[in-house]
Amino acid sequence: MDEAKLLQKIRDLEALVVGGATEGERAAAGNARERIVERLRAMERTEPLVEYRFKLADGWSMRLFLALCRRYDLRPYRHRGQRRTTVMVRVPERFVRQTLWPHFERASTELRRHMDEIAERVIAEAVGGDSGDAEERDSDAPKGALPSSGEDS
């Protein structure tokens, strides 16, 4: 997938999150952000804000999640002493469940798929050879072998 297709696909996800039962609603997807923010503001008036802690796996996920929060005028933060992979947000529970988290998961999947494709292509062109998983063998390490790094997953 080229970059332009990825950008469009991630933009289209926002319209899917907003939803639209009729053709006119789907055609109004260009106003998806505004509709999402309006929905959030309505929820904030009637539902309590909950402090959520999100632990994100990597830098790409972190950047994407922060960008989504800020896109919807949320103010992500981190308490002093929390890891850089932790993001706090005060937001209605229903907004997280119906909008923010589904949008993040779908966009993250697309971004990761695209980044994996780029990495595979760059490794193949620059290094060559097979970059697939290492073969799996029965453990018969001799005594005195170097200890494992602890990353057996």
Q: Which domain holds residue 90?
A: 3-126
Confidence band of 41 (pLDDT split at 50, 70, 90): very high
Instruction: Give pLDDT, residue 17.
Output: 57
- SS3 for 149? coil
Judge whether 61 lies within some domain: yes
How does residue 12 score in pLDDT terms, banded at 50, 70 and 90?
low
Q: Is residue 68 part of a domain?
A: yes
49 located within any domain: yes
As for how many domains the chain has, the answer is 1
Q: Is residue 112 part of a domain?
A: yes
Domain contains 145: no
Is the residue at 137 inside a domain? no
Per-residue pLDDT tens digits for 98-150: 999 998 999 899 888 888 888 888 888 888 777 777 888 887 766 666 666 65
Q: How much is the average pLDDT of 6-12?
A: 67
Q: Write the DSSP assignment of 58-125 as a string of letters.
A: SHHHHHHHHHHHHHTT---B--TT--TTEEEEEEEHHHIIIIIHHHHHHHHHHHHHHHHHHHHHHHHH
Q: What pTM was estimated for this model as a whole? A: 0.70
Does 51 map to a domain? Answer: yes
Does residue 147 sit within a domain?
A: no
